[in-house]
Amino acid sequence: MIMNRRQMLIGLSAAALPQPIRAEGSRVILRPTKVDMVVEGRLIEMIGFNNSVPGPEIRVGRNETLSARLENTLEEGTMIHWHGIRLPNAMDGVNVLTQDAVIPGGSFDYRFAVPDAGTFWYHSHYLSLDQVSRGMFGPLIVEELDPPEVDQDITIQLFDILTDAEGNFDRTFHTSHYTTEGRLGDVMMAFSSSYQTRVGERLRLRVINPSVDRVFKITLQGMSGVVVALDGMPLVAPQLLGDMVLAPGQRVDVIGDVDADVLVLESSSVEPLLLAKISATGSRDKRNAAITPLPPNGLPQPGRITQSVGLVMQGGAGGKPHGGFGSWAFNDVSGLPRAPLLSAQRGETILMQLRNDTAFPHGIHLHGHHFWETDERRAPTVLRDTTLVEAGETKEILCVFDNPGAWLIHCHMLSHQEDGMATWLQVA
């Protein structure tokens, strides 16, 4: 569903997304193709998996094996990264570090077990600023063995598109895209897997931000409930639903009861924008059962800290000079250095100090693992795979590096990643 600012305020028309694909026991085929989308009344040429932007929602049960073949019918290389999944390194879909690009006409078989239930997503990790902005992403939902009782389990994907003066997809790149917040689109949107509900229904909303650079601030109206998971990982204590800030790559799971039409609002500016409306028609008896925490995924708890590593974000407009060749750098290096940022023995707990020495926020994403955010006493708080570090802010995270391989850590503002904000680490 695409709307411009005016349409968003006066009414919404829902476009049907493809039916979810169940992945147990059969191979999923993902084929990127050209897709025409209607944006502000004009056809825009995008690229989507299986003729759809977003790509089909893949659903699979926890501990099952996901088997997916990427068939590249594009005239350019590509590959798929499975964001947030703790998978074998060779399946991670990262250019150079874990695989070569799948060439036009080529294919690649991804096959891995999914150890954690939760809300994940997949996207191109090749020329990703360009390919993700053109639509190469989709949800990957790993279902609990005993899912919470809800009337609907709805996926909401936030996105934006940059258009030019004629309203066509703008593929030109300006220096300012790389040195500021990124290549923000002028048309914001949300794709919901359902647009109908009833007063009294209990909904699970899985909100995903696959946009390339935009930090969304989302307010939900018309329902009351709790946040039950962040980046796919259940919260021990669900948090009362309030404004939700999602950096690119992040996810928030909400369970709540419907009081009226459910409005998904972007509330960064004074005048909130309506991104999606799930209309309440009719009603059902409200559920009396309390909303309980989701079952934990059982990730290892942090142990004694054996290494402390600093990661300093540098560069951008107004930033101090640094030693890297790009607009952005980590620790004075732009792009992947020959030596890893850190080498960990399997099972080590490492403290990483993420220091944002720039004038812009960054969403730092670690591959192959989740990590703990910490409080002032360095006690672990919540598990994430992507954390938003505001301008001037320093965050300390704790990670148990128990997944062997060469793993990328980068800014998920893909303009920043492309212009230097990426490095890697080695787990033996």
Q: Where on the chain is the footprint of Cu ion (CB under 5 A)?
A: 362, 411, 413, 416
6 Cβ contact partners less than 8 Å away, ≥ 6 residues apart: none
Closest contact distance (angstroms) between CB of 315 and Cu ion is 9
Closest CB to Cu ion among 99 and 356? 356
Residue with tokens 């960054």: 362
Tell me how far apart the alpha carbons of residues 275 and 34 are, in angstroms, rounded to a whole number. 25
Closest contact distance (angstroms) between CB of 365 and Cu ion is 10
Closest contact distance (angstroms) between CB of 149 and Cu ion is 39
Closest CB to Cu ion among 322 and 416? 416
Closest CB to Cu ion among 17 and 414? 414
Tell me how far apart the alpha carbons of residues 421 and 311 are, in angstroms, rounded to a whole number. 11
Give the strand pairing for 273-283 and 251-266: antiparallel
Closest contact distance (angstroms) between CB of 411 and Cu ion is 3
Closest contact distance (angstroms) between CB of 160 and Cu ion is 16
Closest contact distance (angstroms) between CB of 423 and Cu ion is 13
Tell me how far apart the alpha carbons of residues 308 and 352 are, in angstroms, rounded to a whole number. 6
Closest CB to Cu ion among 70 and 422? 422
Closest CB to Cu ion among 14 and 391? 391
DSSP string, 337-355: -SS-S-EE-TTEEEEEEEE
DSSP string, 168-210: SB-----HHHHHSS----SEEEEEES--EEEET-EEEEEEE--
Short-list 193, 128, 170, CA closest to 411? 128
Tell me how far apart the alpha carbons of residues 267 and 279 are, in angstroms, rounded to a whole number. 20
Closest CB to Cu ion among 83 and 362? 362
Closest CB to Cu ion among 188 and 411? 411
Closest CB to Cu ion among 214 and 362? 362
- Phi/psi region, residue 73 (left: phi>0; alpha: psi -120 to 50; beta: rest), is alpha
Tell me how far apart the alpha carbons of residues 59 and 138 are, in angstroms, rounded to a whole number. 11
Closest contact distance (angstroms) between CB of 111 and Cu ion is 32
Tell me how far apart the alpha carbons of residues 321 and 334 are, in angstroms, rounded to a whole number. 12
Closest contact distance (angstroms) between CB of 357 and Cu ion is 12
Residue type, 62: R
